[in-house]
Structure 1
Amino acid sequence: MEITEHTIGQLRVAQIHTTETLFQTVDDATDFIGYIYYQGFDALILDATHIATHFFDLRTKIAGEILQKFTNYRMRITLVGDWRNISSDSLSDFIRECNSGKQVHFAQNLDEALTKLAT
């Protein structure tokens, strides 16, 4: 795993590069938040491919539980992926709702992720 650091004002953002699936469980996410936090980062950019596919099946409730951990620990997260052709109405609604807040975002690319974190 490799981390690229981005700085937006006073915000330190970790962009993760890996071939691994990082979040299979809520505990994986909690451990990762601690890992990133103790390195002094305030936010995380993660490619959607680094999260287990069951995360995106809202019936599993994993997405809500994992993203709630990020909110509880005040660690902003932006997931980068192609969100344009999602067949699930509930997932589309979930993404739209997340993007209306400041804690969790879904972006199409790195530039959009950095822009969302800057607001």
Structure 2
Amino acid sequence: MNIRIVKKNNIDLAIVVSDEEIISDVQSALDLMATVNYESGCNRIILNKTAICEDFFDLKTRLAGEILQKFINYQTKIAIIGDFSTYSSKSLKDFIYESNNGREIFFLSDEAQAIDKLSKL
């Protein structure tokens, strides 16, 4: 796992790059937040969707809700980047839509959008 810091609008953002799955359960999400905060001091994270287990995107598992609630509880904003058009679940599409209209969690197509979104809040 690599953490790269980007500064925009005087806000530090941590871009986490990994070739392997980083988030597979609630504890691994907490570990990610702690590691990023310790190594970079950032509470805004950009993460590729490939670093998150597929169960996260199946809302029936409730994993997404449990994990994202931890990000909210620990006041850490996250932008998950990738292609979400491959998912056919209407409830997931609604979840992504609602998240993108909030202020804490975003599902975006690329890093540039994520940097832009997280640096405005």
Aligned-residue offset at 1:3: 1.3
* Aligned residue runs from structure 1 range 38-117, under 5 A: 38-39=38-39, 40-117=41-118
Identity level (%): 38
Q: Structure 1: which amino acid aligns with 2:79?
A: T
Matched, 1:19 2:19: yes
DSSP-derived class of the 1:38 partner: helix
Aligned-residue offset at 1:8: 2.0
Distance in 2 (CA, whole Å) between partners of 1:97 and 1:2 is 29
User: How many residues are aligned here?
Assistant: 119
Aligned-residue offset at 1:85: 4.1
TM score, norm. by length of structure 2: 0.93
DSSP-derived class of the 1:5 partner: strand
DSSP-derived class of the 1:13 partner: strand
Aligned-residue offset at 1:52: 0.5
What is the root-mean-square deviation in Å for CA atoms of aligned residues?
1.1
| Worse-superposed segment, 79-88 or 48-57 | 79-88
Q: Structure 2: which amino acid aligns with 1:77?
A: I
Q: Structure 2: which amino acid aligns with 1:64?
A: G
DSSP-derived class of the 1:28 partner: helix
Matched, 1:32 2:2: no
8 Å CA contact 1:95–1:106 kept in 2: the answer is yes
Distance in 1 (CA, whole Å) between partners of 2:86 and 2:34 is 33
TM score, norm. by length of structure 1: 0.94
8 Å CA contact 2:48–2:82 kept in 1: the answer is yes
Aligned-residue offset at 1:4: 1.3
Structure 2 unaligned spans of 5+:
none
Q: Structure 1: which amino acid aligns with 2:115?
A: L
